[in-house]
Amino acid sequence: MNARLVFLSCLVSSLVVSGCSVIRQIQEMKNFARCEFRLATVENLTLAGINVQRVKSARDLSIADAARFAMALSQSMLPLNFTLNVDVKNPNAETASLNRMEWRLFIDDIELLNGVVENKVSVAGNGGVSTLPLQLSVDLKKALSGRSGEAIGNFALNLAGEGNRPTRFMLRIKPTIDVLGYPIEYPDYFDVRTEFTAGMGKQLREGLTR
């Protein structure tokens, strides 16, 4: 049985259980199937402690920061820290929610790191938007092993595009919704970029929301 059929089977099994709480959870789950996601902004970008939020190239650095930058490139580690804000929009009339989200981060189509968000996220209805901030840190020397220091440094600059838009970023996510204490995952990862994208395919969303 493929992942999508398992996912739908879990939903059908949940629907036979009565109770107001259960009905509410199932409704929120259906609502979440219609939700849309986007990468909103990237903030607090630092490279080895140097603020590179608005730096497009090494020429934009101050003399002091340029010296620190050159020294950082010679070290064994090059930590990049930033906050990636993910917007979740709910077009339904009622609240939608998720309980867990697995994620994989890509910059310029290079996978740098992955993780899990365990916090519950609720999104108000009628076009409500909730922002999920991901606090991320990656050692670029390790993630881009084999590249020269100059190439790694260039990779790390100009990450915050116009208006701090993360145009070079892509997040691959798989949300989970709890029903009766049982975690039900989306059947597949899906890609999130800077424009709002529905998480589930049209056919699967229609199957959930009938």
Give the pLDDT confidence score for residue 53 in this predicted structure. Answer: 92
C-beta separation of 193 from 38 below 8 A: yes
In this predicted structure, what is the pLDDT of residue 95?
82
**Residue 43: φ, ψ to 5°:** -135, 165
3-state secondary structure of 124: coil
pLDDT of residue 28: 64
Q: What is the DSSP letter of 14?
A: H
Instruction: Kindly report the pTM of this predicted structure.
Output: 0.81
- Domain map of the chain by residue range? 3-209
Cα–Cα distance between 92 and 28 in angstroms, integer?
Answer: 10
pLDDT along the chain (210 residues), means of 10: 59 54 66 86 94 89 90 91 95 83 95 91 90 95 90 90 92 81 78 86 46
In terms of DSSP bridges, do strands 100-107 and 110-117 run parallel, antiparallel, or are they unpaired? antiparallel
CB atoms within 10 A of CB 97: 21
pLDDT score of 109: 94
